[in-house]
Structure 1
Amino acid sequence: MPHFPVNHPARPLYRVFAGLVGFYILVFGVWGVVQTWGEPLFDRGSHWALGLRTNPAFSLASVLFGIVLLIGASRRSNLGHYMNLTAGVVFMVTGVLMMSVLQTDANILNFSMSTVIVSMVFGLLLLATGLYDKVGPPEYAESERRERNHVITGPR
């Protein structure tokens, strides 16, 4: 079973990072919908929003994904932990898959290399956020801290 730190002191900072990623994706998606309104869903045109190439399908997916990430960042439970881990994997896998089809007709989301790089960076950031965002009872977190620091309790 993998070890995830529980109640990490930097957890609020990581939640802010996840929220900022979600906010950027939401704004990108909304701006992309405005830019590509009326175009075919999987258009391969030259529409750009916030420095990334887009089409209506990618813009709509970004709006939904941005909302989901903002919901996950606002939760103080393990829901945000699992959402960030899942979103990080989705971003990384999507980045690799779309990079492999950049110059083909299979590039249905109209990715460019800059979009792939941003997807990978966001994936790594969300994975890091998910790794340090786990919540647990204070007693469990304290025993984890003692075990991690090799603090000996009890008689010697």
Structure 2
Amino acid sequence: MSDRDRTRDSSDHPSGLDDPQETAARVQRRVAAVNATASRAVDESIDLTDAQYPASSLSNTHSVLRKLMGQTRQALSQTERAIAATDSEYGEPTPRQITDEHADRLRETYDGPVRNLALMLLAFNRRKWLYESPETRGAQEVERHGLTANQREWLNDLQDAWRASDVE
């Protein structure tokens, strides 16, 4: 994907939004890149069991898999943005929409470094619960609150400690 595609300004389109066909084409290119990287990862891993010294093959496979993970995250993010931009009546909210709704509340609830930690956990939860384990209790908690019950408890304890140290 070119830098132009990544940094495209929405003012290019007369309505102020990207053309839906153009957006769909960018998403399709992103998914095609993910598929190509996945294919390379499979090709790299085929020789692992037959290699006399698998360290270099394993290193190559690991490198391709890390690239695949990054590309997959970018493709998911771009797809969610495209869905949100083109159809607000999509049905169920996307994981990004869910976490975006909770982000403002978390910014108001927590202060200082605890706020940053809460927002990092929110982003982590989108990947961990909403993408990877959507049918679990943890995912239900993240949909409802943005954080799991344990995370909220820990953050509240940290917030209390932060405020207590700030008073002193």
Same fold (TM > 0.5): no
Greater fraction helix:
2
TM-score normalised by structure 2 residue count: 0.34
Bigger radius of gyration: 2
Q: Which has the higher contact order (CA 8 A, sep 6+)?
A: 1
